[in-house]
């Protein structure tokens, strides 16, 4: 196999911060304004969005004023978006990314991911899922060549999806954004990504909307939190950072922005890391991409 173009991976390694502001399910203009305002004040420079989040236009309205308020420029921040499953396939991908650029009111997006290995309106076992994935990634490569996006990658890809992609693509995917937390460590996938030079990015670090309570109640994590005089949530985020994963905590509460940011100051001991590793229950809180062919 010929060596893949590493420009996207190099860009992410150089430019992408390790902690971002997640915006999943956050569409309120006032909430996004308040939380991102606080985030910029504290030092965050990374915002994660997606076409299916339906907040790109809101971000496009509020970011110019927030950047100006904090004496920042477009080049000072890192923006990730993701191609919706409904926009996968030849022609659709480019059109959707151009719309994202228009809504965000930006000349480029730092990182664009394929959000899901499957395509809308196709069953998970339909053979054309692979076809549309390939077409979508090829269009992202072209958009990167045009300077519309600076780096490209994927989200929710399993090893089999990545193996197929690496046989077809020209540009090495910079990132694979996947569910990862101590009850679902996703270790095999993370190690595969590391071996291939793909940065592993964790979402749902607190366990996901319907599972977060179970994870926050874990006795081992609570014990460590008490030792560090912080919250369980901060320990969960610090654990992700300790693995070398970038993290994307989302919140609608301004006070949580600072709490999440403090995770970078927490240094877990080797013993604490082993204690957390021992609680993996293989409990997946979000959707399962392994069913997509």
Binding residues for substrate: 115
Active site residue 44: no
CA distance 129 to 293: 7
* 180 Cβ contact partners less than 8 Å away, ≥ 6 residues apart: 186, 190, 200, 202, 203, 204, 205, 240, 245
Annotated binding residues: 115
Question: Active site residue: 44, 53, 137, 157, which one?
Answer: 53
Q: Which sequence positions are flagged as catalytic?
A: 53
């Amino acid at each position: 196999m010929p060596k893949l173009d590493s420009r996207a991976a190099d860009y992410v390694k150089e430019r992408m911060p390790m902690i971002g502001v997640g915006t999943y399910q956050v569409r309120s203009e006032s909430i996004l304004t308040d939380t991102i305002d606080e985030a910029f004040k504290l030092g965050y420079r990374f915002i994660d969005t997606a076409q299916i989040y339906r907040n790109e236009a809101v971000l496009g309205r509020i970011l110019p004023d927030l950047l100006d308020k904090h004496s920042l420029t477009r080049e000072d921040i890192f923006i990730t978006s993701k191609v919706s499953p409904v926009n996968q396939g030849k022609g659709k991908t480019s059109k959707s990314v151009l719309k994202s650029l228009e809504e965000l009111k930006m000349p480029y997006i730092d990182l664009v991911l394929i959000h899901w290995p499957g395509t809308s309106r196709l069953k998970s076992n339909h053979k054309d899922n692979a076809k549309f994935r390939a077409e979508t990634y090829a269009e992202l490569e072209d958009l990167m060549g045009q300077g519309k996006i600076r780096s490209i990658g994927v989200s929710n890809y399993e090893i089999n999806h990545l193996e197929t992609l690496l046989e077809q693509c020209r540009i090495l995917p910079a990132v694979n954004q996947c569910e990862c937390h101590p009850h679902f460590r996703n270790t095999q996938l993370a190690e595969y990504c590391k071996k291939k030079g793909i940065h592993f990015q964790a979402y749902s670090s607190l366990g996901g909307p319907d599972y977060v309570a179970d994870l926050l109640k874990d006795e081992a994590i609570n014990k460590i939190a008490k030792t560090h005089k912080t919250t369980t949530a901060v320990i969960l985020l610090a654990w992700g950072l300790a693995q070398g994963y970038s993290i994307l905590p989302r919140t609608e509460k301004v006070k949580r922005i600072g709490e999440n940011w403090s995770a970078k100051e927490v240094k877990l001991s080797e013993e604490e890391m082993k204690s957390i590793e021992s609680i993996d229950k293989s409990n997946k809180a979000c959707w399962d991409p392994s069913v997509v062919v």
